[in-house]
Amino acid sequence: MVDKTATEMYRSRTDALTTDFGEGQPIVFAHGTLMDRTMFAPQLEALQDEYRAIAYDLRARTDRYAPGYDLWDLTDDCAALLDGLGEDSAIIAGMSMGGFTALRFALAYPDRVDGLVLIDSIASPHPDDERAEYSALVEPYEDALEPLPREIAAGSTAELFGETTLEENRELVEAWVDRWATYPGKAVYHELNSWLGREDVTDRLSEIDVPVLIVHGEEDSTLPPSRAEPMLEELPDAEMELIPEAGHTSTLENPGPVTDAIRAFLDARF
C-alpha cells in the first residue's frame, strides 16, 4: 500500500527537505536516482541573485522511502512541496527521474507549471532489456535495511558519470560512491521501481504548452541524447542544449555550461 501521508510530509517539513535560496520567480529542482538535492548546488548558488532557486529531496532520500510508490505519487509530492513553499506555480527542473516527474507534473498540474527544464531525461520508457537488467540488480534489496553494498554503489558510477568525469574527476566520483554506500538497500529498491515500469508519455507532450529547456550531457551513456531529441518534435515550445564533457549527472560534471543554459533560458523566457 502506498503511504499517502508521505505526500503530506512535503507540506509540513518543507524546511527540512529543501535548499531554498533567493527571491523572485521560483524554479524547483528534483534530483535523479541515487542523487540528492545537493547535486544542484552550483545552479542554486548561481541563480539565487534573480530567482527563488529551490532543490528538494525526493522520497528515497528521506525517512519515508517505502513502501512502493510511483512517479504520479512523486508528482503529488511536488505539488505538496509548492504548497509548503507558499508558491502557486513554478518552473520545474528535473534530472533523470526528476525529469520523469517534471513531465508528469506538467500533465497533472498544468496550472501550476510555468516552464520545464529537463536534465538528462526522456519521455519514453526504458527498453525491456534495460528494465530487466535494472530490476535484477536491485531485487535482492527489496527488504534490506542495511546499506547498499559498496560494490553495487561503485558499479553505478558508469551509469551516473561520463567518460571525462570518470577519467579526470575521481574525487567527485568517489565522494558520491561513499554517499551511495550509506543508503538503505530498500530505499534504492523502491526508488528505482518508482520509474522502472513507467508508461510512455510521448503522445501527451503536445499538452505541455509552457517553455521547455532540454539539457543533456553529450557523454550520457545511460540515456543518450538521441533518446531525448524526439521530445523536440512533440513539445510545442522546446529547445535543447548539449553539454560537453558531461554524462548523466551533467549538473555536477560540467556545471558551468548547464547553469549558463538554464540562466539564458530563464532570462529570455521569464
d(C-alpha 121, C-alpha 30), whole Å: 12
Q: How confident is the model at residue 242 (pLDDT cuts 50, 70, 90)?
A: very high
Give the pLDDT of residue 2: 53
Cell of 57: 529531496
**Three cell numbers at 99?**
525529469
CA 115 – CA 32 distance, rounded (Å): 19
**Full domain range(s) for residue 230:** 5-269
pLDDT of residue 4: 65
Residue 207 φ/ψ region, left for φ over 0, alpha for ψ in the -120 to 50 degree band, beta for the rest: alpha
Q: What whole-number distance in Å separates Cα of residue 102 and Cα of residue 117?
A: 8
Cα separation, 54 vs 26, whole angstroms: 7
Mean pLDDT of the chain: 97
Q: How many domains, in total, are found in the chain?
A: 1
For 91-106, the pLDDT digits (tens) are 999 999 999 999 999 9
Residue 250: its H or E element = helix 250-253
Answer yes or no: pTM beyond 0.75: yes
Q: Is the pLDDT of residue 1 over 60?
A: no
Tell me: pLDDT of 118 over 80: yes
CATH of residue 203:
3.40.50.1820
Instruction: Read off the pLDDT band of 3 (50, 70, 90).
Output: low
**Burial degree of 201 (CB within 10 A; 0-12, 13-18, 19+):** buried
pLDDT tens-digit readout, 223-236: 999 999 999 999 99
Q: Is the pLDDT of residue 265 over 70?
A: yes
